[in-house]
Amino acid sequence: MIAIENFERSPLSVAIAASKNAYKAVTKRLKLQSISKGSDKRKLVISTNWLPKFGFKKGVKNVEESLGESQGFDIRLASEFDVKTKLTYERSYANRENETQTDTRNQSLLDFSLGHADEVLIIFKPGVIRVLPVFGNEYSLTGEPVQFKMEIPFKADELDTAIFNVLDYVEESKARKVTIEYDAQFENSDQKVLLDLQLKRMGYSVSDSQTSRRTMVASIMPESDDDDDMMIEPVLVKQLSFDQKHKDAVISNIDNKHLKTCFFAASAGVDISAMEKHGFTADTLLEWRPHENRDIKQQVCKETGEVVEKINDKSETGAICAFLNSKGLKYIFNEDMYKFDSSLVSSSIGEVDAQGVFHVSLQCDDFSNCKNESDKKKSLAKLDSTVDMFFPALKIIKERKFPMVICENVPQFSNSTSCKLFEAKLESMGYQVHKKVLDALDYNGYSSRRRMMLFATILDAPFTYPEKEERKVNLWDDIIVKNLHRFRDVSHTGGCKTYIRGQKISTLIKHGRLNKDCSGGFVDRIYPLVNEDTYKTDLKHKTRLVKRLATMLRKFQCANVVTPGATHCGTILKSQNRQVAESFMVKLGDEFLFPDNEICKMVMGVDPSFNIDKPFTKEIGMEIIGQSIEVPMHARFSEMVDQHIQDFLSGIKGVVDLIVEAIPERLETIEEMASELFTPQPQVNEEMQLSLF
């Protein structure tokens, strides 16, 4: 049993209410709850930090009004003429601040307005909360079964892009069963993993058929009610083709006045704040912090004695941080990108102004070296992997028709199949795709943060990446020496002791007293295998010791510890404050010193005015900084995007287009040369030859 416990509601609510930022709408998704255990009666409790900002404070009267059968309902602020009203109330807690809530339990209203939906989309607007039903795919996947046969790529190493067409066909047909026939090459490919994930997210149960054919079966039906797909004519699915319609639609939709207006996705605000300083405007944000294992705590219910899991809900923290630190956000979609439906939102809040840039920071955990392979496989099994997040990003790009796309991620993403497919799809939609891994050290950054920066554009103008800069900064002199009072001594912690041991192991390997895998050398002398009786015991202990030594060595090698005179440090992670092996520390003599959040902000180049302190815990504040962009590097990149826009507005065309336009003229010259070379010449007789002399 899992319950949702809200996170730091009051301080965040106060910060939001006190903000003078303009806004038009905020959205969230919530699940309906049972009134009590075992009851079929439902309730909708809306408890969020956004409530007071939209006028729903303690004691304020509100009215619930249906929008029609299965069309949702509104909760609006009551007027003096309303008779049947309810109160917005405040719930108190013994160990944390009170919180404002609305509570809807009218069964007739819920049944009529929401139907069988178990999830709702909440749209907050000034003075009104709109509640729309969200129905699961199991209610819509009723189409006839379909069968696909994947077209085999021409070359063995050719990127297989057919999965895009499979998913488009499935989404359009709403088939209750999907059978996909493929070859051995596809069977062991990343594309199959991605296709499997996407079908599961659509609501299908996926399995590999145990037949003579290699097939993947995705179905919402029980096996006993299965269809005989042998009688279905297979659809040959081909590779991606160029989508001229999308390119034409984007070009016709370009609004020169809004080319620097941005839609940000997966951002807690650091990149928004940085780009605003270069004249860009952020009016829309899609951000939702997913629940993580450490957010879940097990507790014993005093009433029933049952062990329940409570989730410390932090899903709003990134969106709130962006809202508090930005200048122009009007629309905030506090939703999971995988579930976001822009058409459903647009129908309720109206059309959003044209936007020139879609800036997305796809979740990097499943591409980063900081997450081990075992955990990555577990994420795939639990369906919380984000290796396929580029699919919903592409859906947003297609629907919103952005002229430009910026994607930021770890370097490992650049060479992944996910990135290659992302690029291929963008190119098929008419975008010119540029991609490069940038290093913060090349742009006067204080950390060695490396990020892939992908830029896709339909604008007919040149684009180049920023040139490397002469290094003029020094971490030790500029930041550490001047702020030693902001560091605390953590020499007594286990992590620091492990670092020292790992350093000694590294020395032993360097001098040949241990093998590189931490075996041999003095380990063999510690555990001599004397006789047959002690062989098994000693071997077991010896293996354990080697693993422990290897772990200590690995933690030492990946440590982010700097010493006096250091010009820079390693990458700062969102797990910095949990004092993991990769946490940034300073070693001064025998002491290990740990920085506070403000030091980490300085290292990342974040503006001092960017606030992560008062409304947030230190851990959340560090998460926001640790997974953000490195500001100096991103600033140089933003300048080049700005230059690209200015060149477009000035009529300066891209290199590719200049070459293409020059081709006809060049061809004409070549044809003239060819004509001269191959024009039949008069035959030369002996008299003519003599006359030449």
The pLDDT tens digits of the residues spanning 422-443 come to: 999 999 999 999 999 999 999 9
| Residue with tokens 């650091």, as numbered in its chain | 270
Contacts of 177 (CB under 8 A, 6+ apart): 145, 146, 217, 218, 219, 220, 221, 226, 227, 229
Both 143 and 131 in one domain: the answer is no
pTM for this model (two decimals): 0.87
Both tokens of 675, joined, read 């004509």
- Give residue 521's pLDDT: 77
- Give residue 491's pLDDT: 96
Q: DSSP assignment of 574-587, as one string?
A: TTGGGT-TT-EEEE
Write out pLDDT tens, residues 290-313: 877 777 777 776 666 676 667 777
Both 92 and 149 in one domain: the answer is no
> Rounded to an integer, what distance in angstroms lies between the CA atom of residue 101 and that of residue 92?
11
Residue 43 and residue 35 in contact, taking contact as beta carbons nearer than 8 Å: yes
Quick one: DSSP state of residue 329? -
333 closest CA partner among 260, 384, 399: 399
Residue 614: is its pLDDT beyond 80?
Answer: no
Residue 8: is its pLDDT beyond 50?
Answer: no
Both tokens of 130, joined, read 């709109």
- What is the pLDDT confidence band of residue 691, given thresholds at 50, 70 and 90? very low
Both tokens of 574, joined, read 């969102």
Task: Kindly state the average pLDDT of the residues 382-407.
Answer: 94
Q: Provide the CATH number for the domain around residue 166.
A: 3.30.110
Kindly state whether residue 55 falls inside one of the protein's structural domains.
yes
> In 647-680, which positions are buried (b, 16+ CB within 10 angstroms) versus exposed (e)?
bbeeeebbeeeeeeeeeeeeeeeeeeeeeeeeee
Quick one: DSSP state of residue 394? H
Last residue of a domain, one of 211, 237, 263: 237
Both tokens of 346, joined, read 């647009």
Residue 261 and residue 275 in contact, taking contact as beta carbons nearer than 8 Å: no
Task: Kindly state the average pLDDT of the residues 378-388.
Answer: 86
Task: Kindly state the average pLDDT of the residues 126-151.
Answer: 86
Kindly state whether residue 691 falls inside one of the protein's structural domains.
no
CB atoms near residue 334 (< 10 Å): 24
Tally the residues of the chain: 693
- Give residue 95's pLDDT: 53
| pLDDT above 90: percentage of residues in the chain | 56
Largest CA distance in the chain: 123
Residue 64: is its pLDDT beyond 70?
Answer: yes
Residue 407 and residue 360 in contact, taking contact as beta carbons nearer than 8 Å: yes
pLDDT, greater one: 221 or 242: 242
- What is the pLDDT confidence band of residue 141, given thresholds at 50, 70 and 90? confident
- Give residue 37's pLDDT: 79
Both 146 and 64 in one domain: the answer is no
Write out pLDDT tens, residues 224-255: 455 555 567 888 888 889 999 999 999 999 99
Residue 211: is its pLDDT beyond 70?
Answer: no
- Give residue 688's pLDDT: 36
- Give residue 155's pLDDT: 67
Three-class DSSP category at 46: strand
- Give residue 62's pLDDT: 96
Both 501 and 623 in one domain: the answer is yes
Kindly state whether residue 517 falls inside one of the protein's structural domains.
yes
CB atoms near residue 19 (< 10 Å): 15
> Rounded to an integer, what distance in angstroms lies between the CA atom of residue 621 and that of residue 597?
7
Angle separating helix axes 532-557 and 494-510, nearest 10 degrees:
110
Both tokens of 663, joined, read 């081709």
Both tokens of 467, joined, read 């040139």
Residue 9 and residue 316 in contact, taking contact as beta carbons nearer than 8 Å: no
Both tokens of 58, joined, read 């303690």
Contacts of 184 (CB under 8 A, 6+ apart): 214
Kindly state whether residue 13 falls inside one of the protein's structural domains.
yes
Rg of the Cα atoms in the chain: 31
- Give residue 537's pLDDT: 64
Contacts of 460 (CB under 8 A, 6+ apart): 648, 653, 654, 657
| pLDDT above 70: percentage of residues in the chain | 85
Residue 396 and residue 362 in contact, taking contact as beta carbons nearer than 8 Å: no
Contacts of 382 (CB under 8 A, 6+ apart): none
Quick one: DSSP state of residue 477? I
> In 113-123, which positions are buried (b, 16+ CB within 10 angstroms) versus exposed (e)?
bbeebeebbbb
- Give residue 11's pLDDT: 65
Kindly state whether residue 399 falls inside one of the protein's structural domains.
no
pLDDT, greater one: 343 or 253: 253
| H or E segment and range at residue 332 | strand 331-334
Kindly state whether residue 510 falls inside one of the protein's structural domains.
yes
Both 81 and 158 in one domain: the answer is no
Kindly state whether residue 641 falls inside one of the protein's structural domains.
no
Give the CA count within 13 Å in the CB-facing half-sphere of 163.
25
Q: DSSP assignment of 229-243, as one string?
A: GGGSPPEEE------
Write out pLDDT tens, residues 33-49: 999 878 899 999 998 88
33 closest CA partner among 62, 74, 3, 9: 3
Residue 345 and residue 27 in contact, taking contact as beta carbons nearer than 8 Å: yes
Both 66 and 159 in one domain: the answer is no
- What is the pLDDT confidence band of residue 661, given thresholds at 50, 70 and 90? very low
Q: Mean pLDDT over all residues of the chain?
A: 85
> Rounded to an integer, what distance in angstroms lies between the CA atom of residue 164 and that of residue 605?
39
Task: Kindly state the average pLDDT of the residues 329-351.
Answer: 86
Write out pLDDT tens, residues 515-546: 888 888 777 776 665 555 666 667 777 888 88
Write out pLDDT tens, residues 316-338: 899 999 999 998 899 999 999 99
- What is the pLDDT confidence band of residue 613, given thresholds at 50, 70 and 90? confident
CB atoms near residue 528 (< 10 Å): 9
Rounded alpha-carbon distances, angstroms, from residue 322 to 16, 120, 274, 453: 11, 24, 12, 21
- Give residue 212's pLDDT: 52
Both 554 and 532 in one domain: the answer is yes
**Could you give the number of structural domains in the chain?**
3
Both 582 and 491 in one domain: the answer is yes
Q: DSSP assignment of 146-205, as one string?
A: EEEEEPPPSSTTS---HHHHHHHHHHHHTBSEEEEE--HHHHTSHHHHHHHHHHHHTT-E
Domain encompassing residue 47? 1-135
Both 64 and 162 in one domain: the answer is no
Both 1 and 58 in one domain: the answer is yes
Most confident of 11-25, 323-337, 582-596: 582-596
Both 585 and 603 in one domain: the answer is yes
Contacts of 51 (CB under 8 A, 6+ apart): 13, 57, 88, 100, 101, 102, 124
- Give residue 85's pLDDT: 93
Write out pLDDT tens, residues 474-522: 999 999 999 999 999 999 999 999 999 999 999 989 988 888 888 887 7
Both 130 and 144 in one domain: the answer is no
- DSSP E strand stretches across 14-53: 25-31, 33-34, 42-46
Contacts of 525 (CB under 8 A, 6+ apart): none
- Give residue 433's pLDDT: 98
Rounded alpha-carbon distances, angstroms, from residue 475 to 115, 442, 444, 478, 488: 60, 14, 10, 5, 18
Last residue of a domain, one of 632, 647, 675: 632
Last residue of a domain, one of 210, 237, 264: 237
- What is the pLDDT confidence band of residue 96, given thresholds at 50, 70 and 90? low
| Residue with tokens 């991606």, as numbered in its chain | 240
Q: DSSP assignment of 408-425, as one string?
A: EE-HHHHTSHHHHHHHHH
- Give residue 236's pLDDT: 83
Residue 682: is its pLDDT beyond 50?
Answer: no
Q: DSSP assignment of 253-300, as one string?
A: H--GGGTTEEEEES--SHHHHHHHTTT-EEEEEE--PPP-GGGEEEEE
Residue 6: is its pLDDT beyond 50?
Answer: no
- What is the pLDDT confidence band of residue 221, given thresholds at 50, 70 and 90? low
Residue 1: is its pLDDT beyond 50?
Answer: no
Kindly state whether residue 59 falls inside one of the protein's structural domains.
yes
